[in-house]
């Protein structure tokens, strides 16, 4: 990504306010704006014109929350360590309405002892919902570790479970 102007836009989801950041060519983050993630908030140029990619992202989020979208098709600008990138790519392969354990992801990336590192990579995921780290659960099928709270994770899983049974 070059020095393109960064824009941000807001989307009011059923589980909280999301900030969508990016350029004319890429989405750079989709993050919940609440007190739990204030350290992740950044200031970008205020939106002073229609931002086509931001509008498309909001449209895809809307169809996700209405149960009509199962996969996001957005140009995400992924930046992270090689390990994080591998984990995030693997998360995108988890089918809608299904879950995997941290250990499952570690095995899927060929590093079966890296479950904790998978959890750390999930915590650094810059694309809430679009890269579905909410679909990763503890080995005892317990909900653990979601940067925006277990209640939000449960709500997303409930939404997908409800809409996945069509």
Active site residues: 133
CA-nearest of 48, 45, 21 to 32 is 21
CA 84, 131, 125, 45 dihedral sign is positive
Burial grade of 78 (CB within 10 A; 0-12, 13-18, 19 or more): middle
State both tokens at 55: 């509008």
SS3 153: helix
Give the total residue count for the chain.
166
> b/e per residue, 29-51, with b = 16+ CB within 10 A?
bbbbbeeebeebeeebeeeeeeb
């Amino acid at each position: 990504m070059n020095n393109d102007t960064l824009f941000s836009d807001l989307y009011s989801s059923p589980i909280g306010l999301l900030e969508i950041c990016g350029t004319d060519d890429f989405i750079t983050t989709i993050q919940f704006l609440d007190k739990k993630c204030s350290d992740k908030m950044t200031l970008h140029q205020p939106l002073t014109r229609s931002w086509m990619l931001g509008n498309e992202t909001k449209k895809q989020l809307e169809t996700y929350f209405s149960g009509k979208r199962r996969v996001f098709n957005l140009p995400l600008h992924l930046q992270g360590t090689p390990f994080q990138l591998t984990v995030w790519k693997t998360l995108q392969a988890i089918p809608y309405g299904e879950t995997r354990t941290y250990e499952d992801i570690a095995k899927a990336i060929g590093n079966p002892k890296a479950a904790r590192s998978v959890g750390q990579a999930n915590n650094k995921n810059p694309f809430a919902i679009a890269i579905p780290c909410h679909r990763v659960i503890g080995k005892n099928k317990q909900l653990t570790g979601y940067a925006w709270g277990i209640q939000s994770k449960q709500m997303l899983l409930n939404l997908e479970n409800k809409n996945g049974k069509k």
